[in-house]
Amino acid sequence: MPVYEVHRDGSRPFYTMKLVKGETLSKAIRWHHEQSRAGHEDPLSLPRLLNVFVNVCEALAYAHSRGIIHRDLKPENIVLGDYGEAIVLDWGLAKQIGSADEETAPVLLTEDAQSQATRQGATPGTPAYMSPEQAAGRVDLLDQRTDIYGLGTILFEILTGQAPHSSASSAPLREKEFHAEAQSSQSQNRESGDESPHSKAAPRLSIHDL
């Protein structure tokens, strides 16, 4: 996303960026699967979506090379341009690796958009697309691999037409699974005699095991 100007108007900072128009990847995915269910699938539709996915991966690879993670990857935050370009938006939860998280006020989810709404506060992100460590509130574990998990959820939705987690209630459930698997992993390590620091720190459900 190009930023054209960063300046101050008196004491107030402002910036100017490109005006982006186009449909979201979420809308394109819905259209693809609606056409497929109706028996009118364009044979090039899925390859186009997969090409968009590759472009998003390349955009994130660049951000990661600069030490920045997005933390809220989902099809709704990707806009398709008029010429096939994929633009990753909504970097409001982005973070530089190694920097401390600033305190943010919690944002309540609306009833009609629980799983799709971005949550801020102790657990930043969108419940339907959260990695296990995000769902567990382990912001200290978030790094580039958290975004890679997010890319996996986007690919999942491209292929299936559904988000990987269907409701906001899945976040607390995966938080419990995260801690249960951490305890199970540590117990297995003690039984096998593997007491390495890495084996203790990485629960099996976390994206950090990949």
Which of 9, 42, 72, 147 is flagged as catalytic?
Answer: 72
Q: How far apart are CA 8 and CA 136, in angstroms?
A: 39
Distances from the Cα of 144 to the Cα of 51, 55, 71, 138, 166, angstroms: 21, 17, 9, 14, 24
Report the half-sphere exposure of 86 (CA within 13 A, side-chain side): 22
CA dihedral for 159, 117, 103, 137, sign (positive or negative): negative
Respond yes or no: is residue 72 known to be catalytic: yes
Separation of alpha carbons 116 and 106, rounded Å: 16
Residue 152 tokens read as 């996996």
What's the chain's length in residues?
210
Q: Which of 131, 140, 58, 61 lies closest to 98, judged by CA? A: 140
φ, ψ for residue 73 (rounded to 5)? -75, 130
How many H-runs (helices) and E-runs (strands) does the chain carry?
6, 7
- For the annotated catalytic residues, the residue numbers are 72
